[in-house]
Amino acid sequence: MKLSIGIVGLPNVGKSTLFNALLKKQVADVANYPFCTIEPNVGIVPVPDERLPVLAKIVKTDKIVPAVVEFYDIAGLVKGAAEGQGLGNKFLSHIREVAAIVHVVRLFEDQNVAHVTEKIDPPSDIQTIESELILADLETLNKQKRSRMDATKAQLATEAVAKRLAGQLNKGISARNISLTDEEKTIIKPLNLLTLKPVIYAFNVSDKQLENKKNTEEKIAKWLHGYMAISHPTIRPSNDSIIFNAKLENEILTFAEEEQKEYLKQYQLEDTGLNRLIKKSYEILGLISFLTAGTIEARAWTIKKGTLAPQAAGVIHSDFEKKFIKADVIPYQEFVNCGGWAEAREKGKVQSMGKDYPMNEGDVVEFKVGS
């Protein structure tokens, strides 16, 4: 499955700088003025996976194919975007197709980089963006046609869910924070509501703020809880956030992987912003990876947690789901310990699983399919 992430935020908060770091090359036009990003920059970033080179060595293949994430760098939104201010709805529409949103929030102070509101106020910035997304969703819901006298049961159900959502959105409550049944989520899914998408807050901090990491994270926690308490007093606050320094992420691009990790230790960071962001994205979307390893390639595949074996096979090729017979499965570490398929089978470590087997993170698998 394709994992797509939209990077949003006010102008000049570091979205494009982060995007450049994520792609490990300068592909976005970073400039100190609003709307320097005129079209959404799209980049495909491999998901770091230390298991793949190990598998490739065991099965003696030179081809490694990691899972990937599509990042969309979307132009800075401003207050009134839903009504066409700034670059308006044109850019809100780009967010509709992504699976999750990374909301970049500026914490760093820099007199050389103008803030669109002329002050650093993270809770206010969060509120501005969220309000614009809510207004855009209200416009989407208001465009839904009212059911006629001969409306079907499905049309009436859609209208009822849309009406209930609109009522809550008008109170400033985002769709993701409205309790919906699985059936209601299915009904409303085709509308691609912006505020129904999971969000990760990415706080762009200064060197000094990064050095005082614990204090900075405590402030962020208070802001998030304060923002949620005001906007959604009955909703549990979101803790889906990371801190990063966009300039630092770009500076270490030329470092070897081990050098990067060693350098980041001085800031009490275990990994780069890219890796932490991807990990958090997998977490909030409930995603896992299964692995395939053979003479052709060693490869990682992204699926939803709980996906059954036939549907996982279908991610590789649609025919595999239709013609699924069984899945030969072994945990990654067991596969490594055995040194490959042959010894793993000899030791009885490979399990043959049927159609009701839910795939696990790190399963190494060979699917058996009919002709």
Annotated binding site for ATP: 12-17
User: How many CB atoms are closer than 10 A to CB 204?
Assistant: 23
Enumerate the H helices of 317-369 as residue ranges. 318-322, 332-338, 341-346
Strand-pairing partners, residue 288, are 303
Amino acid, single-letter form, for residue 370: G
Structure token digits, residue 124: 């206010």
**3-class state of residue 243 by DSSP:** strand
Q: Contact 245/210 with Cβ under 8 angstroms?
A: yes
Where is the binding site, in residues?
12-17
Compute the Cα dihedral for 154, 160, 166, 169 and give only its sign.
negative
| Strand positions, DSSP E, 237-323 | 241-244, 287-293, 298-304
Query: Cα 245 to the chain's mean position, in Å?
Result: 19
Query: Cα 132 to the chain's mean position, in Å?
Result: 20
**3-class state of residue 50 by DSSP:** coil
**3-class state of residue 343 by DSSP:** helix
